[in-house]
Chains A and B, each alone.
Chain A
Amino acid sequence: MPVEPPIATPTSLADAYAVLAGSTADDPITPIAGGTDVMVRITGEIGAPPARMVDLSRLDALRGITVDGGAVILGARTTYTEIRRSDACREHLPALVAAAATIGAAQIQNRGTLGGNIANASPAGDTLPVLLVLDAEVIVGGARGERSIPVADFWVAYRRTALAPDELILRIRIPVAGGREARFRKIGTRRAQAISKVVLALAWREGPGAATAGPARAWTDVRLALGSVADRPIRARATEAVLEGVAPTPATANAAAEALAAEIHPIDDVRSTADYRRAVAARALHRMIRDAAGW
């Protein structure tokens, strides 16, 4: 094995911040929690291995799931298994639970963390579209204090985040909005241990009945987000606009599917094709609307 990179194991946030004070963009200190992404890089066979690391395993401040002030707050070290088992998540965030259940398999779900999924910034990260449609905020901290970053602003480019080199992800705040519905679907390469070909999440709120002509009520606050169709997880805002303020009729679903196919620009790669991703994203959205409306 290559020589292990030097690793610090702080036991308090203050200590962690002190370690990270030495982290710069050119010479970063890589945090490790579950390690499911970092450990793949450790051999140095895929790009440069981390040169210096900070171990988050003693930072209990990054753990726990609480419901507070109209939001579910998940510590950055919350594992996918903890999300799946959490009563709060199952009650308020079923779409996030559904996403967590599709990641890797049991071993990965036991180790991997929500904070890691966010920090890794993969365009295929399976929880990330859910966080986008639920208007989640990422609370990050460092020696200079804490700040909150809306997820929509968090992934700034391919594999790049708004996190400063000396900051840690502390927790994720997801507002619990009454009447909000959310759905999740992943199309992967197989039934487990699969990286997404397309992953999408949709959220909406049912508006007052007066807005519609038919029996179905109009949707408002529509959010649609996708992974694996761009260089980062994205919101499909043009398609959202098609769905916003109207009822989920067949005509609406058709228009939304067409809009989504026009809006995204996926690529051919080793896992799938641009044509497939575009068509399946549109069809998966069409199915979600169809299921929700019950026609």
Chain B
Amino acid sequence: MTIRTSPSRTSTPVSPLRSGEAAHALVVPGGAVVPGRIQTASPLRREGPAKLTGEAKYADDLVFPGAWYGATIRSTDAHARFDGFDLDPAIDWSKIAVVTAQDIPGDNIVSLISDDQPVLVPVGGEIQHHAEPLVLLAAADRETLRHARHAVTLRTTSLAPVFDPLESDHVFAHYEITSGDLEQGFAEADLVLEGTYRVGHQEQLYIENNAMIAVPREDGGVTVHGSLQCPYYIHKAMKRSLKLSNEQAQVVQAETGGGFGGKEEYPSIVALHAALLALKAGKPVRMIYDRHEDLSATTKRHPAIVTHRTGLKLDGTLVAQDIEIVMDGGAYCTLTPVVLSRGALHSGGPYRCPNVRIRARATRTNTPPNGAFRGFGAPQTEFAAEVQLGRAAEALGISPLEIRRHNLYRIGDETPTGQILSESVAAEEVLERAAEAAEFEGVAARTAKDRDRRTGSGHVPGSPLRTTRDRTASGIGVALAFHGAGFTGSGEVKLASVASLELAADGQIRILTGSTEMGQGTKTIFPQLVAEELGVAVDDVDMAPQDTALVPDSGPTVASRTAMVVGGLLIQAARRLKATVEERNGGALFADVRAGDASAHGATRIDQKFEPYPHVHFDDETYRGDAYPAFGWAACVASVEVDLDSGEVTVHDVVAADDVGKVIHPVMAEGQVEGGTLQAIGYATIEEIKLRDGRYLNDRLATYIIPTALDAPRIHTILVEAPYSGVPHGAKGIGELPMDVGAPAVVAAIHDATGAWIHELPASPERILAALGVTPTAAAPTPHSATAADTTPAEPSAVDATIEAPITEGTDPRPDARTDPQPMRGPRDPDEPR
């Protein structure tokens, strides 16, 4: 096992922590050359200079002469029948393209799993959520378009909405995973602890909003250029709804300003809308969302309610886990079943437990659909698992570090699906590395002493309106998580991805994949992997543009699978290309003969198709088997300061230790950990969407709050390498790992500082003061107390303040919301309390 720490920024592996580990078969010996090993210096980001200088062309920078501007008329009801719409006769509608569901030549469906979501709600159809697309408009200039938007009046008949996922009887998906004997497990337990945890929506907040430009083609088809993660998802959607052939539908990725999962699904809708308008107008049509529209309408992280009942022995051994998960899918299925699946599979946390029952369901509500977001269901359920374990440790009088050491997965352990973890397990390594670097035990001893002192006389205020002598309280918290690498279950086998490598006739080496660059480094690491294998310089390897007319379907750029799966395919392709060329040149080195070979033999192209990983079997029906070929492992130690007057939390320091299998580009890998950690801190502390009548109230950057540079902690990254043998380079993916582990670490640190457990994200100042008894809680508390067997060693409820949402719905007074003349318009005064 190899550990890299950030200060050295070394690309040479350092010695493992413990000599016992070094003997393991998967250890990469220092200095050894292994497949996929990076060259000494990390290359610059491929597209970096263009982004820095402003040369990079994002969708809205692309110029198409004569292009029109498109707009979407959206519902202002959460659930209603769409009776029709009226066009104000004062406007000259001959200058405006108007598209409705009737203009869709093919299926009025945009779908990844279930055929339930229309491209546009037809007149007479049912509106299922606020901001749902109903009518499309395009005009030659923005001013005409703006007037036209105001001149459309919607006619609807309200229907009863459902907003509570617990009350909804429309189930998108449900799973039950069991192992062992739950009843027996609880009978053996010395402590049985219950808890309910809630997490809300989170917005991806990529820097660039959704944007697509559709250009009609001479062959009757459409080419779209835009901001996207998955060109072939859009390609498929266009073929189906627009009745186009493979060639008539063309998708070209523009430079993309971030995705985080938010550009996995919704770009299909934006592309179809732009294409429908382009076909109607006979002009290129630009569909560029502003931030308000993007926030109001596009997918968010699924809210979830997770209930745990956990049985433990006095020594902290987990003996039973009974977990129930309910996710709010929003109005349409989208990717919800697979988000729920990943959530369920990670819901126990990275811990050995012989008796487990996990029941998970996702239901429909009349809110905008939820979808993919970095972590994909796991951050929700691993937050609950980690807070539950922290509470158990407290109840048993065991340190939070010790209870994790005691239960964490090791080689040979079995997961609830029956998967035997036979290799690449680094739970202990990441935990110990993070705890050591953060000096967890020493700091925790100090914060405990401070907490004891504060509870002494003179520090407890006589009234919730008074301050205490201490202005702030410091705390430290630890969390551990795992993240299944690549697609869940048999997903990769079904995808059957292809990655291609070409030695062109001119001697140029070119990578052809559908994998997209959205800031995470695809365009940099692929040439690295291929150059290393071929023995050429990184700059000798080109990347073909992500254009469906040029590149194969390499599967979607999601699930932290690009470096692992597609990177693995490219290494295999490079080996085949090298062997082919070297063989026909009498064994001469590829690098020496490639130019001559190309001129003699013309282009050589290798199409590498995914082959199932050996010894990985999963049954999608029974949910038994190897849910993932391997797991990545992450530990996080967060140090916080809580303002005791206001409940404001400052996260000062984070140590993040992440096992990614193989580090390809240390600088960008560290960047992924830092970015994911900060996104997790936002999720933990401030990012929140309140809803009223199914409508997001935090639908502008003035109200949807994410951390700024000033809110960012110092982040110390430790990269651990426990390679996975199923791919040639050993990489397991990195993007999502840090997202799973940050929030529970911060919440544990808040508990360490204040003694209060926050059961609901974000752990906002409002929730913290409510937990401390300063302000009343609005909702009736749900029991979270430990129901212990006779020998409960500690009384957990004394410090286990029960927290339910002080905010259950949006309360911004907005009497005009339902009669809003302009769909999508926000609150009249978005920045003010009244």
A61 at the interface (CB under 8 A from B): no
A193 pairs with B648, CB closer than 8 A: no
Q: A191-B711, A276-B769 are in contact. Are A253 and B466 (CB under 8 A)?
A: yes
A124 at the interface (CB under 8 A from B): yes
Contact pattern, B 807-834, Cβ under 8 Å of A = 1, otherwise 0: 1001111000000001001111111111
A45 at the interface (CB under 8 A from B): yes
Q: State the Cβ distance, A176 to closest chain B Cβ, in Å.
A: 30
Most buried by A among B466, B471, B647, B769: B466
B766 pairs with A257, CB closer than 8 A: no
Q: State the Cβ distance, A7 to closest chain B Cβ, in Å.
A: 17
- Enumerate chain A residues within 8 angstroms of B755, measured Cβ to Cβ: none
Q: State the Cβ distance, B692 to closest chain A Cβ, in Å.
A: 9
A195 pairs with B769, CB closer than 8 A: no
Q: State the Cβ distance, B308 to closest chain A Cβ, in Å.
A: 28
Q: A45-B290, A190-B708 are in contact. Are A158 and B810 (CB under 8 A)?
A: no
- Enumerate chain B residues within 8 angstroms of A275, measured Cβ to Cβ: 766, 770, 775-776, 778, 806
A124 pairs with B833, CB closer than 8 A: yes
B834 pairs with A193, CB closer than 8 A: no
- Enumerate chain A residues within 8 angstroms of B776, measured Cβ to Cβ: 275
Once bound together, how far apart are the Cα atoms of A195 and B703, in whole Å?
A: 9
Q: State the Cβ distance, A44 to closest chain B Cβ, in Å.
A: 7
Once bound together, how far apart are the Cα atoms of A295 and B616, in whole Å?
A: 67
- Enumerate chain B residues within 8 angstroms of A280, measured Cβ to Cβ: 645-647, 765, 769
Contact pattern, A 145-162, Cβ under 8 Å of B = 1, otherwise 0: 000000000000011000
B710 at the interface (CB under 8 A from A): yes
A271 pairs with B703, CB closer than 8 A: yes
* Complex interface residues of chain A between 28 and 64 (CB less than 8 A to chain B): 43-47
Once bound together, how far apart are the Cα atoms of A229 and B833, in whole Å?
A: 7
B446 at the interface (CB under 8 A from A): no
Q: A190-B708, A279-B775 are in contact. Are A284 and B646 (CB under 8 A)?
A: yes
Chain B's closest residue to A231 (CB) is: B834
B57 at the interface (CB under 8 A from A): no
B686 pairs with A267, CB closer than 8 A: no
B143 at the interface (CB under 8 A from A): yes
A266 at the interface (CB under 8 A from B): yes
- Enumerate chain B residues within 8 angstroms of A92, measured Cβ to Cβ: none
A286 at the interface (CB under 8 A from B): yes
Once bound together, how far apart are the Cα atoms of A275 and B811, in whole Å?
A: 13
A272 pairs with B462, CB closer than 8 A: no
A45 pairs with B292, CB closer than 8 A: yes
B464 at the interface (CB under 8 A from A): yes
A111 at the interface (CB under 8 A from B): no
Q: A1-B142, A271-B703, A279-B775 are in contact. Are A45 and B825 (CB under 8 A)?
A: yes
A228 at the interface (CB under 8 A from B): yes
A269 at the interface (CB under 8 A from B): yes
- Enumerate chain A residues within 8 angstroms of B647, measured Cβ to Cβ: 276, 280
B812 pairs with A279, CB closer than 8 A: no
A267 pairs with B143, CB closer than 8 A: no
Q: How many of chain B's residues have a CB under 8 angstroms from any CB in A?
A: 54
Q: A195-B702, A270-B703, A279-B465 are in contact. Are A158 and B834 (CB under 8 A)?
A: yes
B831 pairs with A122, CB closer than 8 A: yes
Most buried by B among A260, A276, A286: A276
User: Which of A122, A124, A254, A270 contacts B697, CB < 8 Å?
Assistant: A270
Contact pattern, A 258-276, Cβ under 8 Å of B = 1, otherwise 0: 1011000011111111011
Q: State the Cβ distance, A47 to closest chain B Cβ, in Å.
A: 6
User: Which of A2, A158, A193, A279 contacts B774, CB < 8 Å?
Assistant: A279
A123 pairs with B464, CB closer than 8 A: no
Once bound together, how far apart are the Cα atoms of A122 and B778, in whole Å?
A: 28
B146 at the interface (CB under 8 A from A): yes
User: Which of A44, A192, A273, A284 contacts B645, CB < 8 Å?
Assistant: A284
- Enumerate chain B residues within 8 angstroms of A237, measured Cβ to Cβ: none
B775 pairs with A276, CB closer than 8 A: yes
B710 pairs with A191, CB closer than 8 A: yes
Q: State the Cβ distance, A124 to closest chain B Cβ, in Å.
A: 6
Once bound together, how far apart are the Cα atoms of A195 and B833, in whole Å?
A: 10
- Enumerate chain B residues within 8 angstroms of A258, measured Cβ to Cβ: 463, 465
User: Which of B646, B707, B774, B833 contacts A190, CB < 8 Å?
Assistant: B707
* Complex interface residues of chain A between 73 and 130 (CB less than 8 A to chain B): 105, 122-124
User: Which of A46, A231, A273, A287 contacts B806, CB < 8 Å?
Assistant: A273
Once bound together, how far apart are the Cα atoms of A230 and B463, in whole Å?
A: 24
B467 at the interface (CB under 8 A from A): yes
Chain B's closest residue to A289 (CB) is: B467
A66 at the interface (CB under 8 A from B): no
B834 pairs with A267, CB closer than 8 A: yes
A124 pairs with B832, CB closer than 8 A: yes
B774 pairs with A254, CB closer than 8 A: no
User: Which of A124, A253, A261, A272 contacts B766, CB < 8 Å?
Assistant: A272
Once bound together, how far apart are the Cα atoms of A1 and B465, in whole Å?
A: 49
B698 at the interface (CB under 8 A from A): yes
- Enumerate chain A residues within 8 angstroms of B705, measured Cβ to Cβ: 189-190, 194
Q: State the Cβ distance, A187 to closest chain B Cβ, in Å.
A: 5
Q: State the Cβ distance, A38 to closest chain B Cβ, in Å.
A: 13
User: Which of A47, A105, A122, A257 contacts B463, CB < 8 Å?
Assistant: A257
A180 at the interface (CB under 8 A from B): no
B142 pairs with A2, CB closer than 8 A: yes
Chain A's closest residue to B704 (CB) is: A270
* Complex interface residues of chain B between 637 and 696 (CB less than 8 A to chain A): 645-648, 650, 686, 690
- Enumerate chain A residues within 8 angstroms of B711, measured Cβ to Cβ: 190-192
Apart from A2-B146, A258-B463, 4 more pairs, CB < 8 Å: A192-B710, A280-B645, A280-B646, A286-B467
**Which are the 6 A-B pairs with shortest beta-carbon distances?**
A268-B811, A191-B710, A282-B465, A275-B775, A257-B465, A283-B645
Q: List 17 interface pairs A-B (beta carbons < 8 Å), by A numbering.
A: A44-B146, A122-B831, A124-B831, A192-B710, A192-B711, A193-B708, A231-B834, A258-B463, A266-B833, A269-B813, A270-B697, A271-B703, A273-B766, A277-B833, A279-B769, A283-B467, A284-B645
Which A residues are closer than 8 A to B by beta carbons?
1-3, 43-47, 105, 122-124, 158-159, 187, 189-195, 197, 228-229, 231, 253-254, 257-258, 260-261, 266-273, 275-280, 282-284, 286-287, 290
